[in-house]
Amino acid sequence: MVVEIVCVGTEILMGNIVNTNAAYLAEKCAGLGLSCYYQSVVGDNHDRLCEIIKTAASRSDIVILSGGLGPTQDDLTKETAAEVFDKKLYMHEEAKEAICAYMTKRGLTITENNWKQAMVPEDCIVVMNANGTAPGIIMEKDGKHIILLPGPPGELIPMFENDILPYLKKMAPDVLHSVMVKICGVGESIVEDQIKDMIDAQTNPTIATYAKTGEVHLRVTAKAENEKEAEKLVKPVVKEIKKRFGDTVYTTDENTSLEAAIINMLSKHKLTVSAAESCTGGLLSARLINVPGASDVYQAGFVTYANKAKHKLIGVKKETLYKYGAVSKETAKEMVKGALKASGADIAVAVTGIAGPGGGTKEKPVGLVYIACGRKHKITVKKFQFSGNRAKIRESSVANALIMLREVIMQNRID
């Protein structure tokens, strides 16, 4: 079956907000085996919205619209979709009660236009919204399905996961089963070269490649009549990928991030970690601390942006800073030693570099970063030359610091 995604909102067209809903919905629909050939963004305009809904319904079996279900006059999605499907609106008492309860619980004032959200098309399926006031709506007519979802991701995602996904699964012709193989520290071109024969020969399952900063993800997807058969098709392909990439595969769980895998490894091997950061300014620590359970293994973080802080907080020698500079392998190594001593952690990781846009020289250009990681008896330092803007350089620094930390944990897991 063919699905089409339409995101409604002038604020999306104007670039005021990033359209994350389209990416989320497209990925979920692809996982169901639904084909998506078109995506559209339309402003809060009745005539243009009416036209895009008619066009989408003429060429797709399922049309999913997000946004435009609010209480104001420019929220037109529901009214326009009902008009296209020739359905009248009526007051849905359960939705009205839910809106009242939601507003009252939060001490918000209920105004007359709030009841606009409780008006729904006749003969529709009403999907209650546990995270907001606008209910979702499913309309069916002449073999076409139109699904209306609220725009805020905090409302759309749980509604889709809990109610829309089961509805769509009933229409999916086959069962799809996917496994995401996540690889770190290997470039996309190298990954593709090492599995080129598998991609060239693929039929079912298929392998899709996704490049991330410092990582490459491979989604292996099989289609079958049932989940068990699909799993059987995926299993040998995943096994072969893991065989080819060895320890660079850090998980086959789509919901596990690199930092989560690292926290799990530290916990498993009863190791603790600390971080000393300069150009990343706490981003590395933030990614680690964001993982549940980090408090059991994460000892301390030192944001030592200035040279004085490097010397005072983690004991980098003044002579080292003067002779080699803050951005040097010598300083990075001493940052690790200092973090180990100050925190008592088993392992420390340090980052120092020039994120730009200023501060670079011919000898030390913008994007030069040194990352050090290790234990007292062995500290490894690597030099990197990243490109891009300030944010990209810092992001690349954090990603590679995590990769180095994982490598050190693997080296020390039997110590």
Tokens of 363: 């000898």
Integer Cα distance of 242 and 381 in angstroms: 28
Model pLDDT, residue 413? 62
Nearest to residue 42, comparing CAs of 60, 68, 3, 21?
68
Which are the contacts of 335, defined by CB distance < 8 A and separation ≥ 6?
A: 276, 278, 302, 304, 310, 314, 316, 348, 350, 352, 372
- Rounded to 5°, the CA angle 135-111-101 comes to 50
Q: Which residue has the tokens 């009205």?
A: 96
> Residue 349 has what pLDDT?
98
Q: How much is the pLDDT for 175?
A: 80
Paired tokens of 16: 């005021």
Residue ranges for the chain with pLDDT beneath 50: 414-415
pLDDT at 261: 98
pLDDT at position 227 is: 84
Alpha-carbon dihedral 375, 381, 387, 391, rounded to 10 degrees = 30
The amino acid occupying position 60 is S
Q: Among 332, 310, 324, 344, which residue's Cα sits nearest to residue 404?
A: 332
Token reading at 364 = 């030390």
The alpha carbon of 397 is separated from its chain's Cα centroid by a whole number of angstroms, namely: 18
CB contact at 8 A, 179 and 240: no
Looking up tokens 């989940």, which residue turns up? 227
Q: What is the dihedral of CA 73, 75, 79, 82, to 10 degrees?
A: 180
| Each residue's pLDDT tens digit, 201-212 | 999 999 999 999
Find the helix or strand (DSSP H, E) in which 283 lies. helix 283-289
Q: Report the candidate in 69, 66, 55 with the shortest Cα–Cα distance to residue 26.
A: 66
Please give the pLDDT value at position 162: 97
Count of H-run helices and E-run strands, the chain:
16, 17
3-class DSSP state of 31: helix
Q: Which pLDDT score is estimated for 295?
A: 97
| pTM for the predicted model, two decimal places | 0.80
Give me the pLDDT at residue 377, please: 87
- Position 288 scores a pLDDT of 98
Task: Give the span between the Cα atoms of 117 and 354, in whole angstroms.
Answer: 51
Q: Which helix (H) or strand (E) holds 121?
A: strand 119-121
As to burial, measured by CB atoms within 10 angstroms (0-12 exposed, 13-18 middle, 19+ buried), residue 318 is exposed
Both tokens of residue 396? 């690349």
Partners of 146 in beta bridges: 63, 139
Query: Is the bond into 71 cis (omega within 30 degrees of 0)?
Result: no
CB 148 within 8 A of CB 136: yes
